[in-house]
């Protein structure tokens, strides 16, 4: 069973992040705008989400942004376990756990999700999360990626010691 789960996760990661650094070029007038994108995990560009946390900051890699709708596909990885404080997004959001676990909470409910688990959160739904150290989550957003903190962004106090 574990082998099937690992193979499934490997396939999911491969599909989500195959290829590297291929910039989307502006289409020539009248040209097709749907271009294939391939990104390899080891070649992704990662940015610190909370630079003040230094090496402990969760990191984000934007995989694709639809040129028309601005719908975004991205990965977030966490070097250390952290509480991602209450926040919301302007568009619907999904999470698919790739590596590790995370507890998600919203609307009075809490659930722990591991590799292969999926959730959907409607636009503007306030939620929070507690991803484990070394976790990787694949996120889709139905519009531009944004974060609206309810009680401020996470700080060093939110890192699990």
- Structurally, the chain folds into a number of domains equal to 1
20 found inside a domain = no
4 found inside a domain = no
Question: Which CA distances in Å does 58 have to 4, 20, 83, 115?
Answer: 28, 21, 11, 18
Give the pLDDT confidence of 78-129 residue by residue, as tens digits.
999 999 999 999 999 999 999 999 999 999 999 999 999 999 999 999 999 9
Put simply, whether the predicted model's pTM sits higher than 0.85 gets the answer no
CATH number of domain containing 48: 2.60.120.10
Give the pLDDT confidence of 34-80 residue by residue, as tens digits.
789 999 999 999 999 999 999 999 999 999 999 999 999 999 999 99
Give the pLDDT confidence of 129-148 residue by residue, as tens digits.
999 999 999 999 999 999 99
| Terminal Cα-to-Cα distance of the chain (whole angstroms) | 32
- Structural domain that includes position 122: 44-158
When computed from its CA atoms, the radius of gyration of the chain, rounded to whole angstroms, is 16
7 found inside a domain = no
Interatomic CA distance for residues 105 and 59, integer angstroms: 21
Interatomic CA distance for residues 31 and 143, integer angstroms: 23
């Amino acid at each position: 069973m574990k082998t099937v789960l690992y193979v499934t996760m490997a396939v999911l990661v491969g599909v989500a992040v195959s290829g590297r650094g291929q910039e989307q070029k502006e289409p020539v007038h009248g040209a097709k705008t749907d271009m294939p994108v391939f990104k390899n995990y080891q070649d992704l560009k990662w940015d610190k989400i909370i630079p003040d946390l230094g090496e402990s900051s969760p990191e984000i890699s934007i995989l694709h942004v639809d040129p028309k709708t601005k719908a975004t596909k991205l990965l977030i990885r966490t070097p250390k376990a952290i509480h991602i404080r209450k926040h919301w997004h302007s568009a619907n959001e999904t999470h698919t756990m790739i590596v590790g676990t995370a507890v998600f909470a919203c609307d009075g409910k809490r659930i722990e999700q591991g590799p292969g688990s999926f959730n959907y959160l409607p636009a503007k739904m306030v939620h929070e999360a507690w991803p484990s150290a070394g976790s990787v989550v694949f996120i889709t957003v139905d519009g531009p990626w944004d974060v609206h903190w309810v009680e401020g962004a996470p700080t060093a106090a939110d890192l699990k010691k």
